[in-house]
Structure 1
Amino acid sequence: MTLGCDCQKRTFHEDCSDQFRQIVARPRSALILYGSETGNAQDVAQEIARLTERLRFDTTVIDLDSIELRDLLKHTIVIIAISTTGQGEFPQNARSFWKVLLSSQLRPGVLRRVNFTTFGLGDSSYPQYNVAHRMLHNRMLQLGAQLFSERGEGNEQHPEGHNGDFRAWIVDLKQGLLQHFPLPEGQDVIPEDVFLEPKWYLRASATRTDASANNQPKTGTSSEVLTLETPPASDLLPIRDSVTADLIANTRLTPPDHSQDVRLLDCRVPSNIDYGPGAVAVVYPKNFPKDVDQFIDCMGWQSMADTSLELVPTVQVSDLATYPPSPLRYLDSSKTAFTMRELLANYLDILSIPRRTFFASLAHFTKNGNEDEGYQKERILELANPELIDELWDYTTRPKRTILEIMPEFPSVKIPWEYALNIIPVMRGRQFSIASGGILKRFEDGNTRVQLLVAIANPPNPIIKLRKRYGVCTRYIATLQAGQQLSLTIQPGYLNVSPDEVDAPVLMIGPGTGVAPMRSMAYERVQWAQENNSKQSSVLFFGCRNEKADYFFEDEWQDLAVEGLTVFPGFSRDQDKPKTYVQDLIRQKASLVYQILERDGGKVYVCGSSGNMPKGVREALSDVLREYGHMELEKANEYLDQMEKDGRYKQETW
């Protein structure tokens, strides 16, 4: 990304600053930007956009890395929603923008004509809570941008997730917008019951699409057994910047009678791709034909389900480069025609938990002709009401009700197929830490190897005991067969491990599938040591439920012992052993841990589930420093804080 001026070096300096100041803002326009790793910040940006549109701002929503810095000055207001990931890192689609914003060649006051505010999404189980948001916000102020409404922050550890804080913040945002940017004379706020025309819509295409050519099955089975269902089609998804991976094996590592189904996916990528420990592969899931058929029937789309459609702008534009981006902009540009069946199978997340804005959109298509229809409309309006967020939580999030499940409860609602991409969330790829590294990164023929350790999400429903719950992506992964191909995108992750640290000992803490990046690091460090003719020392604390069921890669750990790896396992569900978690292991091996941290200047890596685990690990490390370093609690915590600042304590949880 460039800074947007025409000078040869593409930077802001004396020769182009006047040009930068003279950009004229469009009348009453809003630029809503997001930096998002898993999609939460993007969802927040979309909800902010609905507000600004109702306040009659011409609104554009786009990720931070897709704009040039000068674009900020072209709009009346700029609102940024950004998540913090990794160890206080920026999301992948915000890193380039942040790098530009940090340029030392930016003059003070260069953004003084920008009116902005921000909302951050973070997780307080991370030590660097909402750091990316705070750094970006402060840098905008340093460059002269004007704050028109106080920033807000959401915490995923809140009982309602980030929505708990966002609900109050967006009310303040609306007041700030009305105060500082009053509506033009003679115009009012667009009421909630008025349908906002989307930027893009579907229309019948002149190009005929043969549904069979798309390899989309039209029927499913009524079986609830996962392995007996008709699986999704095996065709490749046209994901932009993806690589095609051949699935060599999809092996279940846990016994069939074990409560958790954990798979090791072994993939070959026919190209030379380098990646390091902590890198992730993004898998794009598909919906099952049975679910697609059910949704088509519910919406009454049977007659046009296999009609060729195209996604087009709502208004005629001469230059799409200046128009808000398509909801399917992540697809290869050659993909222009779809059927509704194909959209539902590959690109629309009908098994997601519906958000408030989904019900707000449904309200526009709810009939009110009789008492039952009136009740349905009243119920939808309740679920769309931001002041009744607890009602929405109890109806959708807590029991994990999906869009597919709730639609039959509102039979009077029929979503116009033209607006399907604007109302139903777009399917997002899911990130999985790569488990291969070192000698495991290449096949003998030189092709790249990518291995993923995946826990198939099939938890019992906490409210409705008889209703199955699946993870959208892991359910799809469970059906993949050796010989199939899939589209992957490879991202670097946030551990930032480099060969020059191979001489320093590392303490790796990875319970459950959190051991995947630890395995990658273990093999990588062995290879680095061999290449540098040096020795390496690594300690892994691994926690699982049962020694016989989910002690992943046990044989490999024994083989790697001669290369300097020591593994301490802990089991939390074995009847003949005391219940042991990774934080217990840290305390049990306190002397060794202290030696690695203090005497040897080693590094700590923590990977796995967010929440209690990383908090418990940090408390255990603090206890070790207090016991063996004779530190007070405050001093021990300061020591860990300094380790983070020095890059010696890194955490990647999900």
Structure 2
Amino acid sequence: MAATFSASIAPWEQTLAQLAHQTKLDDLAAFAAVTLLSIAYGTKGILWSKPDPYRHKLFARPQQQPGAEARAQQTRDLAELLEQNSADVAILWASQSGTAERMASRLATELARHLGVRALLLDISDVDPATCAKVPESKLAIFMASTFGEGDPSDNLHEFWEWLHHASSTSLSGLRYLAFGLGNSNYKHYNLVIDSLADRLDAHGAKTLMPTGRADDAAGETEEHFLEWKEQVLALFQSRLGYQRREVSYEPSLQIVEDESLEPIDLHHGVPRDQSAGKATSTQSRVYALPVVQTRELFKDTNDRNCIHMELDLGEHAELKYKTGDHLGIWPINPTVEVERLLRVLGLQQRRAMPSHVKSTDNKPVKVPSPTTLDALFEHYLEICAPVSREAVALIAGFAPTEDAKAFLTKISRNKEAYAEYLGSGYVNLGRLLERACEGEAAWSALPLPLVVETLPAMQPRYYSISSSSVVQARRVAITAVVADTSLSASERVPGLATNYLLALRESSAQPALAHPYGLTYSLSVPHQPLQTSHVHAHVRKSTFKLPAVASTSIVMVGAGTGVAPFRAFVQERALLKTMGRDVGQTKLFFGCRNPEQDFIYADEFTKWQSQLGDSFSMTTALSRPHGDEKKRYVQDCIVEDAEAVCNLLIEENAYFYICGSAAMARGVSDAVAKILMSRQGWSETEMKEFMDRQKRQKRWMQDVWG
């Protein structure tokens, strides 16, 4: 019996042994294959598939500045950068719109020109924050930073900001520094960034050599405050650092060299620099030429005010996307009348289309693309409509064609009050200033062109809250813009640069075409022009101003004027979700305008969405200029009147709270909400602040405001 059983299992044992042997062979084969693949992957580019060292030339941009690749690969060690450039001072700028960067560049120029200081100008994001500890005490760091939004650092400051607030063990006892901030006192957290940066530097042991300077743009005095602080810096270098001040004549930092050999294809004709450099960051897209597919006037029965609704098509650019709540950056161009004025008074009409290289003479980055033409510079790349600083007026006075012109310019450049009075008396830009000082074609032909380019700021985009939902219309983006003109008198006005450009685009696309109400025209279609008629250069900038991830979460929105733009998108999106059967939370909107007959924008659309959302949507309108006996109210008044509902939403339902509009309005709304919450919850000011700070950290209290 046992023999029979043994005989019956023998074949099974043999089969199992064969399977085990085969498995070992398979394992060895697999191991060998993995090993070979690993060796092959590790030797890619060394033993095989060696890269072509010249392949990058296939993608090289002919407009790329020489040495840009080398600059991109330079060290981020601040001490090494100072040593490599034989510099005594590092000027580190943190800027959102470019103002701090421009002022940092001017400071570097002034230090070199008047004191012989070797100053190294640096984007603060190009520096490893920890290496500040290695800077010797014989050197000096100057930090120039802007505050935007509600106390937010600029995008290029984030790495340095995080390091300062979390590198608790690092000592900066050897670092000497100066600090200057740009802000707006209409905002609750005026110049918070530079104050916090200086506090953290001090906490790490750094030593400041003079009090922190602050510029306040609330009254348009950023330039004056910078000039005052700059003089204090120059005096410090003389009194404490042993430098001797010298009076010097103008020395150009640029060369403009004409080159007739260049073809139109070689030139920059107006494409914004961000796009020509292929620049795209984690916070913004590249710049694209987008067709205007729809425009309409939103104000009713007004002859002196315009509000534009404009929609741009993204369909030609599959990679360009936006999300509800993002911003759109519009790159404006200068009006033709101002371009012609400047060319005429400088005597440059015959050279306007001449191809030219713009080169730096002091190794600083050039703020405009090169090569290009004067037409492109004055239309697209320089803000020729910007006011001229007193500092620039003083330089221009040295080239005045007559004694009377020199006396006039010298007077307003040396006296702050005289300059302010002149600015307040009329619309002043460089072309108009030169005409006022000395009229006549080519009257200022002796004024160096490099000085003109140095004086004018580089063109910057203007940002608008997107007023459409990416869920509802993913390939079409909408913006809402009031034409922003500043009235100086009954007959004199300063036209808003970007909004009048948008108005001209709206008029040009109308059928039949309409005339611009102020007679402004723009070169919307000329030879080699990068824009077709009814196209605009624009890019998307990401924002944290977002709807809750869950649609059933309640929200409270407060906006005045065009501050309602992102809330149009929010309500549009929630109305669609509701029609799809989704559960939508309470959606409460407070909207401020003058009166419903004139500027209650999007009234018909909100009425339609009210019918779709039903009881989940409520809208309260505050009228600042009502008709008849109706009481004047602002949005903060409406919040106080509806205190019970607002408190219930914010406390009981933990609703998201949004404010969009002017900084002054936002401050009033925040104070009103704080007042009613403290009263109803019995909170102290400390408890109220803790609540608001917690909500902001959790992204449940968000503001999108401007000065």
TM-score by length of 1: 0.80
Mark the CA change 1:409 to 1:74 in structure 2 (over 3 Å): closer, same or farther. Answer: farther
Write out per-residue CA displacement over residues 478-521 of structure 1, whole angstroms, 9 at most, x where no aligned residue.
111456222212112353x3643644422111110111122233
Equivalent residue for 2:357?
A: 310
**5 Å matches for 1:68-83?**
68-69=128-129, 76-83=139-146
Equivalent residue for 1:190?
A: 246
Contact 1:87 1:650 in 2 (8 A): no
Contact 1:201 1:419 in 2 (8 A): no
Equivalent residue for 2:335?
A: 288
Distance 1:545 1:165 in 2: 35
In the alignment, structure 1 residue 588 sits paired with structure 2 residue 633:
no
Equivalent residue for 2:626?
A: 574
Which among 309, 322, 328 is matched to residue 264 of structure 1?
A: 309
Give the letter for the 2:397 counterpart: A
Which among 431, 434, 437 is matched to residue 463 of structure 2?
A: 431
Equivalent residue for 1:48?
A: 107
What is the CA-CA distance between 1:592 and the residue it aligns to? 1.1
Which among 526, 535, 540 is matched to residue 584 of structure 2?
A: 535
Distance 1:593 1:621 in 2: 8
Which piece of structure 1 moves more, 568-577 or 260-269?
Answer: 568-577
Equivalent residue for 2:499?
A: 474
Write out per-residue CA displacement over residues 265-320 of structure 1, whole angstroms, 9 at most, x where no aligned residue.
101122244434442111111112222112111111123222111111326xxxxx
Q: How many residues align?
A: 587
SS at structure 1 position matched to 2:144: strand
Structure with the bigger RCO (C-alpha within 8 Å, sep 6+) is 1
Mark the CA change 1:619 to 1:313 in structure 2 (over 3 Å): closer, same or farther. Answer: closer
Contact 2:145 2:180 in 1 (8 A): yes
Equivalent residue for 2:153?
A: 90
Equivalent residue for 1:220?
A: none
Equivalent residue for 1:623?
A: 675
Which piece of structure 1 moves more, 402-411 or 238-247?
Answer: 238-247
Equivalent residue for 1:320?
A: none
Equivalent residue for 2:293?
A: 248
**5 Å matches for 1:107-122?**
108-109=170-171, 111-122=172-183
Which among 520, 523, 528 is matched to residue 569 of structure 2?
A: 520
In the alignment, structure 1 residue 36 sits paired with structure 2 residue 92:
no
Give the letter for the 1:609 counterpart: S
Give the letter for the 1:92 counterpart: D
Equivalent residue for 1:351?
A: 385
In the alignment, structure 1 residue 326 sits paired with structure 2 residue 378:
no
SS at structure 2 position matched to 1:436: coil
Mark the CA change 1:124 to 1:257 in structure 2 (over 3 Å): closer, same or farther. Answer: closer
Equivalent residue for 2:538?
A: 488
Distance 1:309 1:632 in 2: 65
What is the CA-CA distance between 1:22 and the residue it aligns to? 10
SS at structure 2 position matched to 1:24: helix
What is the CA-CA distance between 1:49 and the residue it aligns to? 2.5
Mark the CA change 1:560 to 1:478 in structure 2 (over 3 Å): closer, same or farther. Answer: same
Contact 1:124 1:156 in 2 (8 A): yes
Distance 2:225 2:288 in 1: 38
In the alignment, structure 1 residue 65 sits paired with structure 2 residue 125:
yes
Give the letter for the 2:375 counterpart: R
Distance 1:205 1:519 in 2: 51
In the alignment, structure 1 residue 407 sits paired with structure 2 residue 434:
yes
Which piece of structure 1 moves more, 376-385 or 628-637?
Answer: 628-637
Equivalent residue for 1:600?
A: 653
SS at structure 1 position matched to 2:151: coil
Write out per-residue CA displacement over residues 565-598 of structure 1, whole angstroms, 9 at most, x where no aligned residue.
3211122223133222211211221211121222
Mark the CA change 1:118 to 1:265 in structure 2 (over 3 Å): closer, same or farther. Answer: same
What is the CA-CA distance between 1:170 and the residue it aligns to? 2.9
Mark the CA change 1:62 to 1:205 in structure 2 (over 3 Å): closer, same or farther. Answer: farther
Distance 1:215 1:25 in 2: 36
Give the letter for the 2:498 counterpart: C
In the alignment, structure 1 residue 420 sits paired with structure 2 residue 442:
no
Mark the CA change 1:156 to 1:489 in structure 2 (over 3 Å): closer, same or farther. Answer: same
What is the CA-CA distance between 1:449 and the residue it aligns to? 2.0
What is the CA-CA distance between 1:548 and the residue it aligns to? 2.7
Give the letter for the 1:555 counterpart: D
Distance 1:121 1:627 in 2: 35
Equivalent residue for 2:185?
A: 124
Distance 2:305 2:76 in 1: 53
Equivalent residue for 1:227?
A: none
Which among 384, 390, 394 is matched to residue 413 of structure 2?
A: 384
Distance 1:547 1:498 in 2: 27
Mark the CA change 1:395 to 1:46 in structure 2 (over 3 Å): closer, same or farther. Answer: farther
Contact 2:299 2:598 in 1 (8 A): yes
SS at structure 2 position matched to 1:500: coil
Contact 1:505 1:596 in 2 (8 A): yes
Mark the CA change 1:135 to 1:468 in structure 2 (over 3 Å): closer, same or farther. Answer: closer
Mark the runs of 5 or more structure 1 residues left unpaired by the alignment. Answer: 13-18, 217-232, 316-322, 368-372, 443-447
Distance 2:189 2:552 in 1: 27
Which among 606, 614, 625 is matched to residue 557 of structure 1?
A: 606
Write out per-residue CA displacement over residues 364-400 of structure 1, whole angstroms, 9 at most, x where no aligned residue.
3224xxxxx3343233233333xx3232222225744
What is the CA-CA distance between 1:169 and the residue it aligns to? 3.0
What is the CA-CA distance between 1:460 and the residue it aligns to? 2.8
Contact 1:606 1:652 in 2 (8 A): yes
What is the CA-CA distance between 1:142 and the residue it aligns to? 4.5
Contact 2:326 2:542 in 1 (8 A): yes
Mark the CA change 1:288 to 1:125 in structure 2 (over 3 Å): closer, same or farther. Answer: closer
Which piece of structure 1 moves more, 635-644 or 276-285?
Answer: 635-644
Give the letter for the 1:390 counterpart: E
Distance 1:423 1:47 in 2: 10
What is the CA-CA distance between 1:343 and the residue it aligns to? 1.1
Which among 460, 463, 474 is matched to residue 487 of structure 2?
A: 460
Equivalent residue for 2:666?
A: 614
What is the CA-CA distance between 1:528 and the residue it aligns to? 7.6
Distance 2:319 2:580 in 1: 19
Write out per-residue CA displacement over residues 231-286 of structure 1, whole angstroms, 9 at most, x where no aligned residue.
xx99x985753123221112211236343201111011222444344421111111
Mark the CA change 1:137 to 1:272 in structure 2 (over 3 Å): closer, same or farther. Answer: same
Give the letter for the 2:246 counterpart: I
Mark the CA change 1:628 to 1:70 in structure 2 (over 3 Å): closer, same or farther. Answer: closer
Distance 1:132 1:528 in 2: 39
Write out per-residue CA displacement over residues 506-563 of structure 1, whole angstroms, 9 at most, x where no aligned residue.
2111110111122233345567889995432221111112213222222322333343
Distance 2:424 2:276 in 1: 31
Equivalent residue for 1:223?
A: none
Mark the runs of 5 or more structure 2 residues left unpaired by the alignment. Answer: 1-70, 280-285, 510-532
Write out per-residue CA displacement over residues 15-67 of structure 1, whole angstroms, 9 at most, x where no aligned residue.
xxxx9789736444433232222333234323422432222122343433345
Give the letter for the 2:97 counterpart: T
Equivalent residue for 1:202?
A: 256
SS at structure 2 position matched to 1:365: coil
SS at structure 2 position matched to 1:337: coil
Asked which structure has the greater CA Rg, the reply is 2
Give the letter for the 1:313 counterpart: S
Which among 508, 511, 532 is matched to residue 560 of structure 2?
A: 511
Distance 1:619 1:163 in 2: 30
Equivalent residue for 1:653?
A: 705
In the alignment, structure 1 residue 342 sits paired with structure 2 residue 376:
yes
Mark the CA change 1:71 to 1:527 in structure 2 (over 3 Å): closer, same or farther. Answer: farther
